[in-house]
Amino acid sequence: MKLEDLKLEIRNVPDFPTKGIMFRDLTTMLKNAASLQLMSRELAALYRDKGITKVVGIESRGFIGGSILAYELGCGFVPARKPGKLPSVTVKKSYAKEYGIDTIELHSDAISSDDVVLIHDDLLATGGTMAACCELVKSMNPEKIYVNFIVELESLHGRDTLPDDIEVTSLLKY
């Protein structure tokens, strides 16, 4: 199996969550053991030599690949969550989405200045959530930040919303 073969495992769901949207459902890829293993190996290979100390996974699908990356890279995992889901003191960032305002939070002690952080989410569409998460992580002054996605929808230009000083990678592009 080759990396591009993973696209064959991703289900396309027309008009979800609203009419005109082609939703890329990665759960069909994740349930296939060979696909999950290939995705995991390929993601980890991108970052083995980067000195990553923490992986931030964005709620909720970013928890899947983010946890795998943290395990494979031998580093910690930090969940980026919706408001009210983290039990201790948090820092937060609100941002505009296509259909309203949303907020993302991290524990205030999750990232330190000596951390090299990889922020992971499953899919890059318009980039609003990741841009907000990047700002939030940057406010905690880590040594370096990387950003990663399993899938990128290039026609939506979400990469353009992300900071120029952060390396962004995607395994698969549509």
Give the domain extent around 169. Answer: 50-173
* Mean pLDDT in order along the chain per 10 residues (174 residues): 95 93 95 97 98 98 97 98 97 86 96 98 96 98 98 97 97 97
* Cross-strand bridge partners of residue 25: 11
Residue 104 counted as domain residue: yes
What is the CATH number for 106?
Answer: 3.40.50.2020
Mean pLDDT of the chain: 96
Concerning whether 61 is annotated as a catalytic residue, the answer is yes
Q: Are the beta carbons of 167 and 147 closer than 8 angstroms? A: yes
Residue 21 counted as domain residue: no
Type of residue found at 34: A
- Please give the tally of structural domains in the chain: 1
**Catalytic, out of 42, 61, 159, 167:** 61
Q: Are the beta carbons of 115 and 133 closer than 8 angstroms? A: no
Q: Are the beta carbons of 5 and 39 closer than 8 angstroms? A: no
**Catalytic, out of 4, 11, 59, 98:** 98
Half-sphere exposure of 66 (CA within 13 A, CB side): 25
pTM above 0.85, yes or no: yes
